[in-house]
Chains A and B, each alone.
Chain A
Amino acid sequence: MADSDKVWPTGLTLEEAEEVHSYLIDGTRVFGVIAAIAHVLVAVTTPWLG
């Protein structure tokens, strides 16, 4: 267990912190795409954009 590359305040190693971060990024991307599609569909269905 390498202590040298731990990052604080979490005490995770750099690799672990990056992995946690990657989940966040992935989630943001997926939700962003979903939201974009949902908005397009709403715009088509309702007189929202005139």
Chain B
Amino acid sequence: MFDYRSFAMRKLTALGPKYLPFVDVATAEVPLSRILRLSLFQVTVGMALVLLIGTLNRVMIVELDVPASLVAMMLALPLVFAPFRTLIGFRSDQHVSALGLRRVPYIWKGTMYQFGGFAIMPFSLLVLSGYAEAVDAPRWLGISSAALAFLLVGAGVHMVQTVGLALATDLVKEDDQPKVVGLMYAMLLLGMVVSALVFGALLQPYTPGRLIQVIQGAAVVTVALNLLALWKQEARDRERAQAMKTMRRQRFADAFAELMQAPGMKRLLFVIALGTFGFGMADVLLEPYGGQALGLSVASTTKLTALFASGTLLGFAYASWALDRAAQPGRISVLGTLLGIVGFAAIIASSLGAGVPAFLLGTALTGLGTGLFGHATLTATLRATQKDRVGLALGAWGAVQATAAGIGIALAGLVRDVIVGLDPGAGAGAGAGAAVETPYTIVFSIEILCLALACAVLLPVLKPRADETGQSQTGRALPDSRQTAVEVP
């Protein structure tokens, strides 16, 4: 007699855990394919950034006729949440869960916020711009709903990125951290480049309907990629769940103070702020500068972005390779800032008679510097933290980094407006002559100054070459790590 009931029960029991989003057993060795899958969350972050800073920035101003000041305010809103990264990371460090999960719930929550923001964004923008029936809609409705949409996306991006990086750090051994950091950065860049191309192509004949499709499509893609990224990443761990209940609870203020007490942490965050701000304006200003000061065509300025991105990727790759061979993060950061200084100098020189080749060289060098600096400073942050406070440290890193980058981009936009204000017919650049590159040159000089400052702050703490041990327990001081060292006068 076949016992249906027990057969069905057995089948169900076998199925159950298989279809839940966590692994049953934590494995010591996490294969690269799994890390690669996890890094997909960075693609969604890149997509959100491009959509906000690039695509919507233009669409709101040009197609929807929203006042530029209002657009700038909306785009600045997500920045308000940047300091909260520290708190979010800390909360995930101390999360109590019966399943023993720490990171996945937060990544999921962040994904939901991203999705929610994108879901209401297109309609809120249409209401904001008074499209069709929304002409008689009260003004506050458009403004508040658009603000809510941007806030949701911003909060989601901060959450997903902070906690996602923390999860990636949890999964790998300390020796492999440089590789993972490089991978995460590369995926962010990939997400930005690919989505910029895709959004540009999809919005080519702009219609309001198309805008709705594209933004809500981005929402669906975000959820899909993030689900794929976090699926079966974190282990269900009853022992950890027990430990969570009896964990030492710390107040955020105390934990934060402890983090700041860590040797070199304040200096590191200060350097990250300076350097990120210094590099931050480059990619936004390069295109208009090439167009107006050097008279490059639109098609060739677009290739600039590709050149910059290639340089950045090369920087990530080299930093991963060098740091993996026990080079000091500090040295690589200094190398990045130096390359940036040379790059910006070449860019300034290009409008003073050195011409297009100098400009291209400068763009590539700046990209390379950006890659080296970003990678090395994040790796340094990871190495300076305790195992149970990874989320907090990454939160602090993200808060500083996002704020500095945001201010940089805002300043870049300001400079553009100043130029447009100076010369209503700007864009052709041919008749404008010498006046047109002046604001740009000032900004690039500020960037050089910031990078030089970052360099100066870092130099005193570089260890002499004699004890090139790579700080951690890697102990693989290979002779070729000597080649990565920057000559310190």
Instruction: Please list 5 pairs of residues, one from A and one from B, whose beta carbons are closer than 8 Å in the complex, sorted by A's number.
Output: A23-B105, A31-B112, A37-B145, A41-B120, A45-B137
Instruction: Tell whether A4 is near chain B: CB-to-CB under 8 Å.
Output: no
Q: Which residue of A lies closest to B98 (CB)?
A: A15
- A45 in contact with B126 given A10-B17, A23-B105, A37-B148 (CB within 8 Å): yes
With A and B bound together, what is the CA distance between A19 and B109 in angstroms?
14
Highest count of chain A CB atoms <10 Å: which of B99, B131, B236, B238: B99
With A and B bound together, what is the CA distance between A42 and B236 in angstroms?
41
With A and B bound together, what is the CA distance between A40 and B112 in angstroms?
20
With A and B bound together, what is the CA distance between A45 and B132 in angstroms?
6
Given the complex, which residues of A lie within 8 Å of B238, measured CB to CB?
1, 13
Given the complex, which residues of A lie within 8 Å of B133, measured CB to CB?
44-47
- A19 in contact with B99 given A1-B238, A45-B132 (CB within 8 Å): yes
With A and B bound together, what is the CA distance between A41 and B148 in angstroms?
12
Q: Which of B8-16, B160-168, B312-320, B358-366 contacts A (4 or more CB under 8 A)?
A: B8-16
Nearest 6 pairs of A and B residues by beta carbon? A41-B123, A15-B98, A9-B12, A10-B16, A34-B116, A19-B98
- B104-119 interface mask toward A, CB cutoff 8 Å, 1 = contact, 0 = none? 0100110011011001
CB pair B112 A30 closer than 8 Å: yes
Instruction: Tell whether B141 is near chain A: CB-to-CB under 8 Å.
Output: yes
Nearest CB of chain A from residue B129's CB, rounded to whole Å: 10
Instruction: Tell whether B469 is near chain A: CB-to-CB under 8 Å.
Output: no
**What is the number of residues of chain A that contact chain B, defined by CB distance less than 8 Å?**
28
Nearest CB of chain A from residue B305's CB, rounded to whole Å: 33
- B383-426 interface mask toward A, CB cutoff 8 Å, 1 = contact, 0 = none? 00000000000000000000000000000000000000000000
Interface of B is mostly: helix
Binding site for A on B (CB under 8 A): 9, 12-13, 15-17, 20, 97-99, 105, 108-109, 112-113, 115-116, 119-120, 123-124, 126-127, 131-134, 137, 141, 145, 148, 236, 238, 241
With A and B bound together, what is the CA distance between A8 and B99 in angstroms?
16
With A and B bound together, what is the CA distance between A27 and B13 in angstroms?
25
CB pair B119 A27 closer than 8 Å: no
- A10 in contact with B13 given A19-B97, A37-B145, A37-B148 (CB within 8 Å): yes
Q: Which residue of A lies closest to B104 (CB)?
A: A23
With A and B bound together, what is the CA distance between A17 and B118 in angstroms?
31
Q: Which residue of A lies closest to B138 (CB)?
A: A44
- A20 in contact with B99 given A10-B16, A11-B16 (CB within 8 Å): yes
CB pair B127 A41 closer than 8 Å: yes
CB pair B98 A18 closer than 8 Å: yes
